[in-house]
Amino acid sequence: MDGNGRWAKKRFMPRVAGHAQGVERVRDIVEACIQRGVEYLTLFAFSSENWRRPEEEVSRLMELFVMALEREVTRMHRNGVCLRVVGDLGRFDARLRELIAQGEARTKENKRLTLTVCANYGGRWDILNAVNNWRRDNPDATTVPISEDALAPYLTMPYAPEPDLFIRTGGEQRISNFLLWQLAYSELYFTDTLWPDFDAEALDLAIASYRKRERRFGRTSEQLLER
């Protein structure tokens, strides 16, 4: 979700106003996804690298995260959303961690849409964390190579299928350490639309683009026709 700062700057507002507007968009997009039958939505809210931002902005982001959890969980629950927050959560303060745990516990049986929020997340961290946890569980396997299937359950989102579509807003064309392992075969979609402007219509453009893609997973077009 990129472009909050620029959205605010264009309006001569402080960057944090863009983040606040971004939170509103999250609510709209979650609901638009539910209406469209999307079952898994994963949002990159805060990367491990975002701590490098000015202290003031980081603390406002944390406040917004707390406020969003306080305000939105009830609504999510009513809408059948199962909330998961993944990342290195140890660096967040106790209040935030408590709200995350409560929100997850309250919504855990919901099946309509699984909303994963990646917070203090990094794709490389995810992979290394998985390898280290696998090693912890397999202390004697030092000479055995790890297989993809063995590692997958140790990644942060074993409950979700790999993403079909990756959307980056805000004009940049890079992954920026998001889901590196899981995006291996995802269709990538980049748009100049800033996140606070990314509405249901913009989502539909992304989905329309996805529908035109041919997903071969390494096969040829001809092979796909035979299947």
Positions annotated as catalytic residues are 2, 50
Backbone angles phi, psi at 185, to 5 degrees: -120, 15
Going by their DSSP bridges, the two strands 81-86 and 40-47 should be labelled as: unpaired
Residue nearest to Mg ion (CB): 2
Name the helix (H) or strand (E) containing 167. Answer: strand 165-168
Quote the CA–CA distance of 120 and 48 in Å, as a whole number.
4
Least distance CB 167 / Mg ion (angstroms): 14
For the chain, what percentages of helix, strand and coil (3-state, to nearest 5) are there? 50, 15, 35
Q: Site for ligand IPE (CB under 6 A): which residue of 29, 38, 46, 117?
A: 46
Query: 33 is written with which tokens?
Result: 């996804």
Q: Nearest distance from residue 63's CB to ligand IPE, in Å? A: 12
Of these, 92, 170, 178, 182, which contacts ligand IPE (CB under 6 A)? 170
Question: Binding residues for ligand IPE, how many (CB under 6 A)?
Answer: 10
For 1, 48, 93, 120, 209, the CA distances from 178, given in Å and listed in that order, are 11, 10, 23, 11, 21
Pick what 112 binds: ligand IPE, Mg ion, none; C-beta below 5 to 8 Å, kind-dependent: none
Stretch that binds Mg ion, among 1-9, 103-111, 177-185, 191-199 (CB under 5 A): 1-9
3-state SS, 140-153, equals: CCCCCCCCHHHHHH
CB of 4 to Mg ion, least distance (A): 7
- Which range touches Mg ion (CB under 5 A), out of 2-10, 17-25, 68-76, 160-168? 2-10
| 21 forms part of the interface with ligand IPE (CB under 6 A) | no
- Applying CB under 5 A, does 126 fall inside the site for Mg ion? no
Residues between 74 and 133 that touch ligand IPE (CB under 6 A): none
Residues of this chain that interact with Mg ion (CB under 5 A) are: 2
